Amino acid sequence: AQSVTQLDSHVSVSEGTPVLLRCNYSSSYSPSLFWYVQHPNKGLQLLLKYTSAATLVKGINGFEAEFKKSETSFHLTKPSAHMSDAAEYFCVVSLNRDDKIIFGKGTRLHILP
Amino acid sequence: NAGVMQNPRHLVRRRGQEARLRCSPMKGHSHVYWYRQLPEEGLKFMVYLQKENIIDESGMPKERFSAEFPKEGPSILRIQQVVRGDSAAYFCASSATGIDGYGYTFGSGTRLTVV
């Protein structure tokens, strides 16, 4: 069965410190992987995506993620957190075989001043 | 390009009424997906439609929920005889070629509150 696990429901970091949001997936097929961000009362915004090209993917707003097949992980990182990064982040797996996508439960990122 | 448009943004219904949620995909997109976000949960897939066809409705509740994407006009998610448990944010996404990494865009969602 395919699944996505976001290991932390809440993450708190101080402004200016690194961010790490963890995501592990389970898929029988070669997946495409995405990170989306949702700010309050707004739609989801695509941060970055992995589609079998380079394993280190750079996204918007200084975020990046590394696809590690051996660890079935796609963790999201940012070197230095900003207050505007406070939001909910969703890791998403796309099963290219049948066009279905699976969302993780989300990680709420809190930025401490 | 206006993006994916969902309306209304907020919808309040009394128990037993019908709720209709609309989604206009991006220009040129013929694939539409509906997701539901319940409090404290992630987004859950409901249904995938192409023009005039339901491709995958494996995430739709068996009763009271239906979806359509007519040849002309927006996609409609219809919930009959709403109950309190239907209160959630409903998101629509569209793509040109299906979810394979190309142009998958979400709307801002419709927040349904059942009172």
Read off the pLDDT of residues B48-92 as tens digits, 9 standing for 90 and up. 898 889 988 888 999 999 999 999 999 999 999 999 999 988 989
Asked whether A64 and A77 are in contact (CB, 8 A), the reply is yes
Q: Which of B30, B94, B104, B113 to mutate to test the interface with A (most CBs of A within 10 A)?
A: B104
Q: Which of B21, B24, B38, B43 to mutate to test the interface with A (most CBs of A within 10 A)?
A: B43
**pLDDT grade for B101, boundaries at 50, 70 and 90:** very low
pLDDT for A90 equals 87
pLDDT for B75 equals 97
Q: Which of these, B106, B68, B64, B101, lies nearest to B89 by C-alpha position?
A: B106
Looking at A20-24, A87-91, B93-97, which range is the least confident one?
B93-97
Which one has a higher pLDDT value, B101 or A77?
Answer: A77
Looking at A49-53, A76-80, B107-111, which range is the least confident one?
A49-53
Residues of B in contact with A54 (CB under 8 A): none
DSSP 3-state assignment of A47? strand
Determine contact: A40 vs chain B, CB below 8 A: no
pLDDT at A20 over 70: yes
**pLDDT grade for B102, boundaries at 50, 70 and 90:** very low
- B108 and A42 within 8 Å at the Cβ level: the answer is yes
**pLDDT grade for A95, boundaries at 50, 70 and 90:** low
Q: Which of these, B35, B25, B26, B18, lies nearest to B75 by C-alpha position?
A: B25
pLDDT for A50 equals 86
Asked whether A5 and A29 are in contact (CB, 8 A), the reply is no
Amino acid identity for residue A79 in this structure: P
**pLDDT grade for B23, boundaries at 50, 70 and 90:** very high
Cα–Cα distance for residue pair A72/A74, rounded to 1 Å = 7
pLDDT tens profile A99-108? 456 778 889 8
**pLDDT grade for A64, boundaries at 50, 70 and 90:** very high
Asked whether B82 and B17 are in contact (CB, 8 A), the reply is yes
Q: Average pLDDT of A81-92?
A: 92
pLDDT for B12 equals 97
- CA distances B31 to A10, B44, B99, Å, are 33, 17, 9
pLDDT at B39 over 70: no
Residues of B in contact with A101 (CB under 8 A): 33, 45, 99, 104
Q: Which of these, B96, B87, B81, B75, lies nearest to B24 by C-alpha position?
A: B75
pLDDT at A96 over 70: no
